[in-house]
Structure 1
């Protein structure tokens, strides 16, 4: 079996080093280097004019939504020159590229040969242009017609013993319209097995916020950042993960807001911002962002939050009613007395030690907040991918409830979503755990009874594939293999499938680790013109602050043989369900307005959808917490204080905590380049950032080659051939890039309650590299 496994195409990036250059880390982000990097990608993809034409319409009213992050566009004036960031421009360059992948390319390149390339090299090959099929026992993908592709999918699905033997994944790039018809087909087919990218990024936010304030979304708008007193950024790096957020932070600073940044690494995007659209960002020093940086240890955030609350409580005892909003607490919350009793059992010194932040810094943070009410807390996957992430987000809500900072202008919770429509997917009912109310509305409108049992999320889907319980995998976008944990385990699971299908714009490693048979279905990108019966269509998306807006592509597609995602879902439904379907799929396939009418009938908040989405800038969905209306597990009308614990986080002498992160030249699993400019890393991704004190204790020096090991569940997992780089990071903490170290994340290392992979704290050992024989 081992010999057979070794002959399979690699599920990971090749174990080879490039030409690492290490420079001093930067203290600011953006500026002219960001502009030049964005323009260089257009040149690299041979589209200087085509690309610039598209960039001028990206994120503009009447234009198309950026395929990258979900940070919202301004409601009012938008920059006519550049309402996008460096990574948005890189995403556009890759989808607007002139490079084509035709049948001839796949005839010349075997799957095994392509798997020998790095993810960066695979992604740079170009746009997919026609459907491709991998037969059982084959070595090369070969062309297939659309009709034959849908017939093959239908044949596999209809041959299953149960609809629950299929799983239907969704990427955040998928539009509202495509997401709705996709989930509609899946449920009429008979399953709720709908793993999606929320299961890997902000499921934790949805669970936590839903429990304690009644809505699993953020409560603030972009305008709140311009009229607030304190912005806390915790477990998030805006300079890389949501660069346009820095413009909002800069504007808030100019209007008097103070910023507290909390992170294990002193990221450039937390420290300073040079806005390339302002003269001082081009010629001057730009804007300082963080007024206070708290360098917390990995998973020390809970201890830090409780320490800040304890400092605030001490100040409240000295001046009752001055620090806490007693009126808000009495009218809008439950559980305050129990919360305070638990809080008083902690000692400041113990919490400081557990967080790695000094008592003086903790008190400084509390002083910045004690006489302020307009407080916004922003977070990313640095918190949501921690094992106790749900509790940590509930602790953030505890802090804001003490201050009466939710449901007011300039205050509230702000989970910074990743992919541009990941929040819209969930709103469109891409959810393995739908409520009965949601399913009742589908049943009333369409006339079929959707399945009521909960389906598989990402982690459960992988385990079910591994156990042979799921035999068909359909991916509406994304790179499931490289985004998920425990790469070796996941790859083995994918190879047990009877059929794997991906709807994609570009080639990725997920296409190379496949089932007995496999299909790649090429689709339109956001920037492509979407013609239906000769008429250009628009789609819609929801950003991370609950704004739904239209998106209209404007570039000629690279191939005439691409289908939009809505058509793919509808044609798959017709081929699979045939006459037993009660849904008018022809209507949805040919009329996006009809899809939106169905959404309006089935999903609250979308009444008059077709009218409101045509308004420039779109419309806001209802948001109870934003309006001061709360609901929790303990009350139908009040927010809830939660009781949480501080984790022990013990490590043996030879163990370290590892967090995975992405480079600045990366969005999710898409690798745009090989330069992590802000951290000073160039021409390499196989690095491990370590504290110099830890290096000395372990007998390591800069540039040493090492192997990384994890032993969760009694299984040895190895990520080989990494280079040690000294960095400013708390002792016993390390940071590496994903997906190169996803292999170290056990499939069972998950976030409590949300069941997300807990990639932000993995216990590892580091040993000198031993080459394979």
Structure 2
């Protein structure tokens, strides 16, 4: 809808996703960060067998004849890391930490690459350069002085390689704790907890080849054009061959409507585009569970009408491979269509049409993102998707399965190689057998629990292997203040971010190599490995000259800290980092599925880890896939006040997680600003608000938990009635730290009850 008045930075964008707009944005990213010849060579190495894995999303690579395997946001991630800009010690000497806190997140990271290890001097309020030996010695001494190892939090970002993550979890466990707050805790922990209960493994079950054979895709709660853009090439191919794509999303997202593939010469030459969604349904924020139950109720009713000859449900599969169907079906029968319509915001006939389309497909994939997981019942949401697939036997056959869309490029791999606060006994036993120390068995902290321990003063030390933890978590007011009370904070990073400025008594910034850079160790150049969202493990080797001679690799930094902290360590830290094959030998010894790791990783494209559900093997207590009931229809707390709206946070097209590449969100028509609240035009009218008005957004939790967001403007958008949206992480100020899915610990960023009013 056009604005009633001209609003700076708000204007329609009518072009498709991708296309020439993507190429112009890529060219701009190159121009701002690198020289063109170097950028071209670097980008052409992205996701190539002899190149480096894109530091952006975890979508897998496909063999094809195109000359490039990166998308617009991948180009931004690569040039952002490989930038020519630098942040040397002289920068910190010229800027106090207090003054830097006034800078925006975009300004901080845009300064460029960190070049030297730095230690905070509280008397001068600046970071000062230190040698690596001094940094390791001081960190080690403080860690050894802690009376309780469980007062230390070891945070991991999904950017870390398998090799770095494996050494990191060894370090923490030999130190004596299982405190592993992890970026996965904030996005797909509901998947990691929910799917093992349903199908026996906490990962997706599809391969990229399955998208060539599927007859239907149901896409729920994700925006691939921004958050996993390489997926758009796959959706483009599926749409072009005529397979329907049914989308459930509260907002109309351009990439799910129309996409022009920059690798399609005809589409580019003719300024054409391909329609992606064959059906686009907009549930209310928090209405996904009701929509899923509606589809499944329709299937059950169709099956019962047709009787014994029905082919709606796969009865043979259900009988042989599942458990709990009758109780599950009884719950669906008891659920009323009126309640389903009211809570989902989708009419019954539309949900029945989805069910009919599903029955016509012999092979269906359901893809989903954080619009499903980041709710108070996110774990159960994930399980309802598994239920939908089980009803028609959509596991263990080509073109079918469940596809959680992971964010950061190795967030799944980090978990596979031991970054978990809830270790299994078998894993701990193999660590002891391989490395000679007994790891602790007690469960540790996830991200929210770790920050709550810091807020309570129980945890005294925070070590971060990448990331921007305090900014990524909800409730920045509580998190920021708590982190600044720490005895020690350590940040392993490529670029400056706000978490580095939340200095405690002792704070260190340890600069590391990026994916694009050459990693030289004692035995020569090294490669690392990552696992994509479809369980493919492959090698990554950078070729660029490091941004500074003072940089160390992530594995080398972890090993240096560990050796300085644990002088009697049983782990040969320095020996391991001389040759990363030795680290991979350790991974192979501890984790099943990595047999002949070093041999297989040298095969272009790598190898796939075992996924038992693809063979219809279910590692659950019953030995079968489980139909798990969702009680009721509400995936978030119930609020009956009609003035309350449900707010979801979302990423702009110029960002990745907490990294802000720029201030444009062109597909949504926002340019040069982030201070917006997207609203349905009818919700605006009911509140007497005009587009462009400055707003106050206040939470409606009650019980003294109210939070407020100010200085945002109203923007009309095609979003479901009763729903509003604002950018992450700015909107985190509205999310309490304990507003989580109790089963997985995932924060409920996607459904916050709010009231909206004009600022006086």
TM, length-normalised to structure 2: 0.97
Structure 2 unmatched ranges of 5 or more: 1-5
Match of 1:445 in 2: 434
> Which of 720, 723, 729 is matched with 2:719 structurally?
729
Separation (CA, whole Å) in 2 of partners of 1:495 and 1:94: 28
Separation (CA, whole Å) in 1 of partners of 2:630 and 2:681: 37
The 5 A counterparts of 1:133-148 are 133-148=119-134
Contact in 1 for aligned 2:295/2:354 (Cα 8 Å) = yes
Contact in 1 for aligned 2:644/2:700 (Cα 8 Å) = no
Contact in 2 for aligned 1:395/1:644 (Cα 8 Å) = no
* Secondary structure of 1:541 counterpart: strand
Separation (CA, whole Å) in 2 of partners of 1:504 and 1:615: 30
Separation (CA, whole Å) in 1 of partners of 2:224 and 2:322: 31
Match of 1:348 in 2: 337
CA deviation profile, 1:227-257 (whole Å, cap 9, x unmatched) = 1111011000011111110111121223332
The 5 A counterparts of 1:38-187 are 38-74=26-62, 76-77=63-64, 79-80=66-67, 82-187=68-173
Match of 1:757 in 2: 747
Match of 2:244 in 1: 258
Separation (CA, whole Å) in 1 of partners of 2:490 and 2:423: 24
Contact in 1 for aligned 2:196/2:202 (Cα 8 Å) = yes
Separation (CA, whole Å) in 2 of partners of 1:696 and 1:638: 48
* Secondary structure of 1:222 counterpart: coil
Match of 2:759 in 1: 769
Match of 1:603 in 2: 591
> Which of 283, 292, 296 is matched with 2:279 structurally?
292
CA deviation profile, 1:438-492 (whole Å, cap 9, x unmatched) = 1111111111110000001111111101111110100000011111110001112
* Secondary structure of 1:681 counterpart: coil
> Which of 644, 648, 663 is matched with 1:655 structurally?
644
Separation (CA, whole Å) in 2 of partners of 1:624 and 1:200: 26
* Secondary structure of 1:443 counterpart: helix
> What RMSD in Å do the two structures reach over aligned CA positions?
1.5
- Check if 1:670 corresponds to 2:659: yes
Deviation of the 1:62 alpha carbon:
1.2
Separation (CA, whole Å) in 2 of partners of 1:293 and 1:324: 24
Match of 2:295 in 1: 308
CA deviation profile, 1:601-655 (whole Å, cap 9, x unmatched) = 110000100000000000000000122111335x124444434331173242332
Say which is worse superposed, 710-719 or 455-464, in terms of deviation.
Answer: 710-719
* Secondary structure of 1:277 counterpart: coil
Deviation of the 1:57 alpha carbon:
0.4
The 5 A counterparts of 1:563-578 are 563-578=552-567
Distance 1:333 1:352, change over 3 A: same
Deviation of the 1:27 alpha carbon:
6.6
- Check if 1:367 corresponds to 2:356: yes
Aligned length, in residue pairs = 749
CA deviation profile, 1:343-388 (whole Å, cap 9, x unmatched) = 1011223212211111221121111111323110000001110111
Contact in 2 for aligned 1:61/1:616 (Cα 8 Å) = yes
Deviation of the 1:717 alpha carbon:
1.8
Deviation of the 1:26 alpha carbon:
4.1
CA deviation profile, 1:168-204 (whole Å, cap 9, x unmatched) = 1000010000100110011000000110101001000
Contact in 1 for aligned 2:46/2:70 (Cα 8 Å) = yes
Separation (CA, whole Å) in 2 of partners of 1:640 and 1:669: 36
- Check if 1:268 corresponds to 2:245: no
Separation (CA, whole Å) in 1 of partners of 2:557 and 2:623: 41
> Which of 540, 560, 581 is matched with 2:529 structurally?
540
Separation (CA, whole Å) in 1 of partners of 2:81 and 2:438: 39
Contact in 1 for aligned 2:679/2:725 (Cα 8 Å) = yes
* Secondary structure of 1:688 counterpart: strand
- Check if 1:390 corresponds to 2:373: no
Contact in 2 for aligned 1:675/1:684 (Cα 8 Å) = yes
> Which of 219, 225, 229 is matched with 1:243 structurally?
229
* Secondary structure of 1:344 counterpart: helix
Match of 2:605 in 1: 617
* Secondary structure of 1:293 counterpart: strand
Separation (CA, whole Å) in 2 of partners of 1:621 and 1:281: 37
- Check if 1:225 corresponds to 2:214: no
Contact in 1 for aligned 2:34/2:79 (Cα 8 Å) = no
TM, length-normalised to structure 1: 0.95
Match of 2:201 in 1: 215
Match of 1:636 in 2: 623
The 5 A counterparts of 1:710-725 are 710=699, 712=701, 713-725=703-715
* Secondary structure of 1:353 counterpart: helix
Distance 1:254 1:514, change over 3 A: same
Separation (CA, whole Å) in 2 of partners of 1:448 and 1:663: 46
Contact in 2 for aligned 1:19/1:684 (Cα 8 Å) = no
Separation (CA, whole Å) in 2 of partners of 1:572 and 1:305: 48
Say which is worse superposed, 226-235 or 726-735, in terms of deviation.
Answer: 726-735
Deviation of the 1:564 alpha carbon:
0.2
